[in-house]
Amino acid sequence: MSNSSGLRLVWVYPDLLSTYGDQGNVLVVERRAQQRGLAVERLDVRSDQPMPTSGDIYLIGGGEDRPQRLAAERLLRDGGLTRAVQNGAIIFSVCAGYQIIGHEFINDLGQRQQGLGLLDVVSERGPGERCVGDVLADIDQHLGLPQLTGFENHQGITRIGPHARPFAHVRLGNGNGTGDGTEGAWNGTVFGTYMHGPVMARNPQIADLLIKLTLDANALPPVDDRWYEALRNERIAAATAPA
Ligand code: GLN
């Protein structure tokens, strides 16, 4: 971790990117770290504040098209998130946040807008209907996580370049929406997904993965996951039930 005060968890722009309940991811990382005896310093950084560069984990949520444009403009101007990644920080981004950390996306004005370029993905406006509904996905085997459930709600679709890998492959749902079955992307310490849910409330193993990366640890002390497992099994059963 970057300093001795504990795990520094940064929630990026709650005033712009908090439409879809992704605050839940912040709560889950905080709780899972505390359950392992780690002190957590949580920083909610609004879009009119400078982005600290000393965070360990940065969480970026989803948002509507206009707030997404404003967030991208401000993050680019600020530069702090890019410096944080250069320092080895972890980013976990959802939907609008995922599009923002890529190279570019189509904004609410229908224009190509520059992203932060922290992940080798490019987003465009999908030609079809908005992708809305449950998602079941198998996570990239390099990440060692179980099958994941989530909920997607996006118009943008995202193509992965050679310097990133799919975060997961969908069994149900659209994921990146490009028809190749991929969902989200990652490279090193930078992750993006289209899954809301919030995704870590459904899959706390993702929070554990980020904490392990922060600590450079192979494993964490186990915690009682029966409630999460029951929720996951319920969501998988609901998502795969015949209509
Ligand atoms: N505005 C983006 C899109 O529709 C992101 C939506 C979201 O964050 N759920 O693709």
Q: What is the pLDDT of residues 111-120, one digit of tens each?
A: 999 999 999 9
- Provide the mean pLDDT of the chain: 95
Specify the pLDDT at position 106: 98
Q: What is the pLDDT of residues 55-97, one digit of tens each?
A: 999 999 999 999 999 999 999 999 999 999 999 999 999 999 9
Q: Which of 95, 103, 131, 154 is catalytic?
A: 95
Mean pLDDT confidence for 98-114: 98
Helix (H, G, I), strand (E, B) or coil at 134: strand
* More confident site: 177 or 243: 177
**214 exposed, middle or buried (CB, 10 Å; 0-12, 13-18, 19+)?**
buried
* Residue owning the nearest CA to atom 6 of ligand 1: 154
Going by C-alpha positions, the residue among 75, 89, 7 that lies closest to residue 45 is: 75
Ligand 1 pocket member 61 (CB < 6 A):
no
Give pTM, 2 decimals.
0.96
Specify the pLDDT at position 4: 53
DSSP-derived pairing of the beta strands 7-12 and 40-45:
parallel
Residue 1 pLDDT > 90: no
